[in-house]
Every structure is written in C-alpha cells, then in structure tokens.
Amino acid sequence: MLVLCSITGICVTTAAFVGRHAFASVLDTVQHDLENRLRSLRIRAGGLRAWIHAWLGFLLAAFLLLWLLTDGPVLAALTVLVLTAGPWYLVRRMALKRREKIEDQLADAMVMFSAGIRAGLSLAQALDLLAMECPKPIRQEFSQIINEYKMGKPMERTLREAKERLRSENFALFAAALLASRESGGRLNDTVERISRSVLEMQRLERKMQTETAQARKSAIYMAVVPLFVLVVYFFVDPVNSRLLFVTTLGQIVLAVAAILNLVAYFWAVRILNADF
C-alpha cells in the first residue's frame, strides 16, 4: 500500500511539473509573439507578462460567472475561448494593417530616395529626406534608421534590424540594394528605380486580385453571419425547442460545435482568398 501511494504521489507530482512547464512554455510563446507584434506597432511591451496573467485571471472569473449565471459550462467555455483569442487577434490585425500601409508607401518612398541620390545626396542624407518627407507610418521607420545611425550605430546594422523588424519583402529588397551599394558600389539610383517599378507592378496585381475577390470575401462574411440570423429566426418560430440549445448540456455542445465550425469555415475562406497565400 505504501509503495502504491508513493508511486501515485510521484505520478501526480510529475504530471503537475509537466503541466506547469507546458503552461509556462505556452505563455512564453504567446508573450514572444505579442512582443514582436507590439514592437512592429511601435508600442512598448513593458510588463506584458503581468498583463497576460491579469487577463488569464479575468478569463477565469468570467468563466465562473457565466457558468453560474447560465448554468452552462459549455457556453461559458466557448465564450472564454473567444475572449482569449480576442486581444491577440486585434493586435495581429493592427500589425497587419500597418505593414500593408508601409508596403503601399514604400514604392513612392523609393522613387523619392532615387531622386535624392540623383540630386547628389549621400545615402544617409537621402534616408534623412525620407524621414522628413514621407507620410506615417513609414516615416517612423526611416526616422528610427537615421536616428540610430546618427547615434553611432553602423548603417548596415540599422538596415538589417529594420528589415527584421518590418518583415517586408519589398523593404528587404530595398535594404539589400542599399547594402550591396555600400559594399560594392554601383549606380544605386538605377537599382532602386528598378525595384520601385517592380514594387508598383506587384501592388497593381495585388489590387487587381483584391478587386476580383471582393465579392467572394463578402460571401464569406455572409456565410459567417447567416447561421446566427437563422438561429434568431428559429428562436421566434419555435422558442421551446430553440431554448434547448441553451439550457441542456447536449444542446450547448451542439451549439458550441456549430459555432467553432462556422468560425473555422470563415477563416479558411479568408485564408484561401488571401492574395499572399
């Protein structure tokens, strides 16, 4: 009996240790992802781990409160699951929108840079011109590059860090042209002009793709909204049976599975219609 209790205790301790380690690993992954996205939004991520713990505490309290109010653990768990992904999804969308705006502004910035080089400006002077004349948000990125350079950081390092920070293919081409020009020389303005023309052509094709898939993207939104509309209609047509979806465990499970499948279908459709897929 003592041996069995000892083995059971060891198993429980090991499971608890593995569980804590896995939970900490998940938190580290979430924190690292949020820090990168907040950094791309130029938002300081100080104390992010404490905010994550506070949010988890709020989610636990919300789950218990919804369970008590609705007497439905399944619906409470589904609501908390949606709330859990909410902040991450909003930050991700904000970072994506900012990166798309930078991509749109980059071609014009390269044309301005090429004109500055042709007028006799140095590389640093041309980047300083972009930091003053370009619109936000790309102006913020060029301002950081030139400010770090003026503080003594090598230009090559500032460009590589900006490339890693922005994660933009077009900016990566632009930075590669600048780095190659500093290392081996050559006509930088001609190279940047060719890259800007290529970027403009890619943007034209992406806009054409967005226009041709606009109706399909609207259909994906309608597909996600219609089930909720049908549920509301059925609640007025047959309130007795519709109420079973909310007050019985089996009904809550069916409702939760339907909601999850609906969300999966919507994001799958958006993924397929994405021009970068």
pLDDT digits (tens, 9 = 90+) for 148-181: 888 988 888 888 888 888 888 888 888 888 887 7
Q: Is 277 exposed, middle or buried (0-12, 13-18, 19+ CB in 10 A)?
A: exposed
Listed as ranges, residues in the chain with pLDDT below 50 are 2-12, 14-17, 277
pLDDT of residue 23: 66
Q: What is the distance between the alpha carbons of residues 76 and 270, in angstroms, rounded to a whole number? A: 27
Do the beta carbons of residue 76 and residue 70 sit within 8 Å?
A: yes
pLDDT of residue 66: 79
pLDDT digits (tens, 9 = 90+) for 189-226: 777 777 777 777 877 887 788 788 778 888 888 888 88
Transcribe the chain into DSSP letters: -HHHHHHHHHHHHHHHHHHHHHHHHHHHHHHHHHHHHHHHTT---TTHHHHHHHHHHHHHHHHHHHHHHHS-HHHHHHHHHHHHHHHHHHHHHHHHHHHHHHHHHHHHHHHHHHHHHHTT--HHHHHHHHHHHSPTTHHHHHHHHHHHHHTT--HHHHHHHHHHHH--HHHHHHHHHHHHHHHH---HHHHHHHHHHHHHHHHHHHHHHHHHTHHHHHHHHHHHHHHHHHHHHHHHH-HHHHHHHHHSHHHHHHHHHHHHHHHHHHHHHHHHH-TT-
Q: What is the distance between the alpha carbons of residues 210 and 171, in angstroms, rounded to a whole number? A: 22
Do the beta carbons of residue 151 and residue 162 sit within 8 Å?
A: no
For residue 179, count other CB atoms closer than 10 A to its CB: 15
